[in-house]
Amino acid sequence: GSSGYEAIAVVGSFTDVATIGTQSLQSRGDDDLIVAQLDAETGEVFWAEQLGGSGDDHGRGVAMGRQGEVFVTGWFNGQILVGSDVLTSAGFSDALLAAFDANGTPTWGHRAGGSTFDIGEDVVFVYPQIFPTLGEPAFSPAVALAGYVDGEITVSTPDGNLAQSAQGRDGFVAAYRAEVYEGVEAELREFSLIGGASQDAAYGVAATHSFGYAPPPDGLAGSLYAVTTGTFNSTASVFGAEVTSA
């Protein structure tokens, strides 16, 4: 992923030892997530970090913010530490969203999942936006996350935990506030399931915003429009619209 900041970010996973630039990282379990920021012109590695515990931890998507902050998604198994946040998966795998500041310091992490397989596939940065289900504008950076869940999923909202039951495997889109400071929690602002009674998934997400990288003028509101791509079988509900496969 990239932004107006003169850098690019990459994410993936590794086993045993990974060398990137002058850094060598040792995996803490079977597989660890790895994320790095590089100079957009020269390819010089600014920093590289890993996230992982004793289980399998994989990076699937990455996005950069306006000032070089980095957001990654993927999945993890067991327990991992992101900044001061200790995350424990509820099932075999939970979807992961983690934030790093421009220097590569992990600042917060968030999980979403139930008792089976839950995967984060893609993430996008957007600013500014409103969150219509909350009813009032929130002119702060946001990240939108897409992936899929298998069975029931529990996510944390400003008003408490929200449990939604997927019908088989469903895709999902979630939006979080994107401030990157140590001790700031990943506050969920929107969550939607995409799917029907069969196997459905969301693999990518993109967003558009009305006023670039500055707050909108007084009296006007920017909007977050999430656009996803993925697969579905038979009939699925996509943001309230019913669609049928050919």
Q: Is pLDDT larger for residue 218 or for residue 97?
A: 97
Summarised one tens digit per residue, pLDDT across range 181-202 is 555 566 777 787 877 767 788 8
Q: What is the pLDDT of residue 139?
A: 52
* Mean per-residue pLDDT, 133-162: 68
pTM of the complete model: 0.79
pLDDT band for 14, please (50, 70, 90 cuts): very high
Residue 157 has pLDDT above 70, yes or no: no
pLDDT of residue 79 exceeding 80, the answer is yes
Residue 216 clears pLDDT 60, i.e. is over it: no
Mean pLDDT in residue range 31-41: 95
* Per-residue confidence (pLDDT) for residue 186, from 0 to 100: 64
Asked if 149 contacts 114 with a C-beta cutoff of 8 angstroms, the reply is yes
Question: In the structure encoding, which two tokens stand for residue 213, read together?
Answer: 């990288």
The predicted-structure confidence for 40-54, as pLDDT tens digits, reads as follows 999 999 999 999 988
